[in-house]
Amino acid sequence: MIISKVMAQLLTGLVFLSDISRYSIAAGTLSPIQPLRDGQTLVSAKETFALGFFSPGRSKNRYVGIWYNKQPGDQTTTVVWVANRSSPLSSTNGSLELNGNGTLTINSMIFLPMPMVALTNPVAQLLDDGNFVIREANSSEFAWQSFDYPTDTLLSGMKLGWDLRTGLNRNLTSWRSKEDPSPGSYVLSFDLEGLPQITVWSGSTKKYRSRLWADVKFDDRQDMRRRYGLRFSFHNNKDEVYYMYNTTGTELVIRVILDQSGMFKKFVWIESTSMWNIFLNYPMNKCQEYSRCGPFGVCNINDWAICRCLQGFKPKSPQERPLMDASSGCDRLTALDCKNRSDGFMTVTLAALPETSNAIVYTNINQDECRARCFKNCSCTAYAAVNNIRNINGGGLGCVIWVTELIDLRMSPHPTENVFVRLAAADLASISNKSSKKSQTKSVVLIIILSMAALIIPLIYFYSWGKKKMIHKDIRGNGEFELAQLQWSTLMVATHNFATTSILGKGGFGLVYKGKLAEGHEIAVKRLSRKSTQGIDEFENEVTFIAKLQHRNLVRLLGYCIKGDEKILVYEYMPNGSLDAFLFGKEKGDHLDWQTRFHIIEGIARGLLYLHQDSRLRIIHRDLKASNILLDIEMNPKISDFGLARNFGDCETMIKTRKVVGTYGYMAPEYTLDGVFSMKSDVFSFGVLILEIISGQRNRILLSNPHLYLLGKAWSLWNEGKVLDLLDPLIGNSFSVTRVMRCINIGLLCVQEKPEDRPSIASVVVMLSNDDAPLPEPKEPGFKAIFSTKHDAVSNQNDLHTFNDITLTEQTGR
């Protein structure tokens, strides 16, 4: 009987194997007489978490860790805590023991600080929140807990921050790699200097910070709070300063990690897909990188220049390209004159207060007192009154005074923090004069407009006038973003009068030219073709969507120009051009090694995730293809060309249209044949892109030559067990076989014939970022059946193919 029980427990892997006759303690509990040996696991009462020995990835080192117990596949897929991360074992003879005095050891070695007071009857227990605790057997108070010593993961109920009584600093430290949990390059911790703020460091370099002292929700996902009851809290008193989130009593399973690249990520477990889904990825844009624009420089992700100087300041290094890179910051136009007390203050409204680690914080004083203290201090450069500051005395009203340069200034569409910047009298007067002139100009313009109104009202019924007016309204206002309006003469000079030698490419919209502005900033100029039947619609569509979308993997729209019939959009210039030139232009193909290709795949997936889920709009791109993926100087991919994009309402899952537009080879079957498109249509296009990136072959749907169909070829090789034959020979031998096969698997999942079989892009991002998560077997790709049933019946006329009433022609890219 005992032997059969042991065999059953071996199969489940949920209880100890040693000395089974004495194993009578509660589930998830370890006592001094029962060590936990390698191969055994300690499981929490509700079987939520497990503790035991593991080896990450292909590593042969052994670690003691905690992981989620109920996930499918490998139990150690998601490790949340590691005890001996700096001192792994080299063999599988490890043993975790609780000594009689209440200390934990691994092979008789202590790896973490243990309770200061010896216990008399200790027990160690793994709780259902993932906390591993030590306590007296008859007590509910913890003498020690793993939550006080986080690794790279923050769980619900875990504190991130300081215990000021003991000096304990609970911070996150990234893994060195996915196969090495030893402390990596990045540390996320509370900076207590000035106002408490969460900061990520790489060595002694600050990478980014969050103003958590004033905004306890930590991100903008208010819907998570309302819908699921997710709770965030921030505590700042004389004993502790910490941040914590809590999902107790909710249906959510959330974990927060600091990954190997220094990214701070929040994951939520989606039960329906049995996968982790990223719902926060920080920093989300370049302005969230620390001090992107240097001292007294303001970063605005919605401004095509990104970096600008505060009024009263000038670029410190004019030789830098100030529009996109002004890391050295700005200098004052006029020196301060504290001695004669002639200085004043300019109000600047920002997304967050500047860096406060070198600021002076006063409590229980109002704004007038704050201003007076700054004015008396000749070192003061700015001040801010803070109404919701929490301090050690419990007060809510406070004052921040900066006595150094202002660092890390950021703008947003909805700025909330007023900062009063000290300026010399001459600069204040200059700003005042400019404002006065602007006011006068507005008044004059208003009078003229009112006077002319009676004259122009009859003309508004003419279509051409109304159309142009609408275009200007959409572009200039564009809801919430102001785009730069560039002069026609400026663009003529920049492109050498739109010379043929400046042409970068050609698309359905028209020609794209390379240009250079007077200050040396390079741009891409997209000129509407007068012969394009869809040009105006595409032009308006591009402006409507892309000006409102800001993501590192989307191309940036910088400005526009309208002159007569000329309609032009201006973008950031991508030095490496489009992806199709690298994939299908063999002179560039050898530059794409496997790491670069995988980096591009990941980047496109993240850009698409933003469009489908994370942006304010829900956008279906509808024309995702290699020629619409642009590459910057670091080979980061940028999704471009939103001329065919559509906005989905919150309740919409699919749309049917009679006007099917796009590029064959990338269009999903349901869209091509029935005019039905959805997010899964974009997923299909992305799957095609994955297979093209891996193979270096274009997906040509030529009914006269169906063997050239890339998806069919990939499907055949997959079934024959020869899928590596799909790999582009130009990649060489430096690649991970496992990762290549995994990517092909993901690509085939994305191009399955039925939309409901395809994964969401959120699931795809998780699949790409987690090499250990199991993948389902793909089903037959779309269009494969079409070839077998329709090939003989369709004529070949210059590879022009008609399905139902939809005409598709081959496009060679831009």
Contact 289, 208 (CB under 8 A): yes
The CATH superfamily label for domain 579-808 reads: Transferase(Phosphotransferase) domain 1 (1.10.510.10)
Rounded distance, CA 488 to CA 494, Å? 10
Rounded distance, CA 199 to CA 154, Å? 15
| Count of all residues that appear for the chain in the document | 814
For residue 390 the two structure tokens come to: 């929490």
Rounded distance, CA 376 to CA 342, Å? 12
Residues of the chain with CATH 1.10.510.10: 579-808
User: For a pLDDT cut of 90, what percent of the chain falls above it?
Assistant: 35
Rounded distance, CA 109 to CA 128, Å? 27
Out of 148, 343, 427, 623, which one is annotated catalytic?
Answer: 623
Count helices and strands in the chain by DSSP H and E runs: 16, 47
Which residues fall within 8 angstroms of residue 683, CB to CB, at 6 or more apart? Answer: 608, 750, 758, 759, 760, 761, 764
Proportion of the chain in helix, strand, coil states, percent, rounded to 5: 30, 30, 45
Residues of the chain with CATH 2.90.10.10: 1-149
Number of other residues whose CB lies within 10 A of the CB of residue 643: 26
For residue 764 the two structure tokens come to: 């795809």
Q: Which H or E run includes 467?
A: helix 463-476
Average pLDDT over residues 573-583: 89
Give the model confidence (pLDDT) of 73-108 as tens digits. 444 579 999 999 999 999 999 999 999 999 999 999
Residues of the chain with CATH 3.30.200.20: 465-572
Q: In the annotation, is 650 catalytic?
A: no
CATH 2.60.40 for domain 152-284, yes or no, is no
Task: Reply yes or no on whether the pLDDT at 117 is more than 80.
Answer: yes
**Cis preceding-peptide flag for 283 (omega within 30 of 0):** yes
For residue 201 the two structure tokens come to: 């460091």
Q: What is the largest CA-CA distance in the chain?
A: 101
The CATH architecture that domain 465-572 belongs to is 2-Layer Sandwich (3.30)
Residue 151's pLDDT band, with cuts at 50, 70 and 90, is very high
Q: In sequence order, what E strands does 610-681 have?
A: 618-620, 629-631, 637-639, 646-648, 655-656, 676-677
pLDDT score of 223: 46
Residue 415's pLDDT band, with cuts at 50, 70 and 90, is confident
pLDDT score of 372: 94
User: Helices 535-546 and 463-476 meet at what angle, rounded to 10?
Assistant: 30
Looking at 405-409, 425-429, 633-637, 674-678, which range is the least confident one? Answer: 674-678
pLDDT score of 792: 34
This prediction has a pTM of 0.57
Contact 773, 742 (CB under 8 A): no
Give the distance from CA 468 to its chain's centroid: 36
CATH code of the domain made up of 1-149: 2.90.10.10
Helix (H, G, I), strand (E, B), or coil: what is residue 392? coil
Contact 53, 64 (CB under 8 A): yes
Q: Which H or E run includes 222?
A: helix 222-228
Spell out a b/e string for 659-695, using b for 16 or more CB atoms within 10 Å of the CB, else e: ebbbbbbbbbbbbbbebbbbbbbbbbbbbbbbbbbbb
pLDDT score of 393: 39
Average pLDDT over residues 369-374: 93
For residue 747 the two structure tokens come to: 């690509």
Average pLDDT over residues 360-368: 88
Number of other residues whose CB lies within 10 A of the CB of residue 459: 10
Contact 59, 180 (CB under 8 A): yes
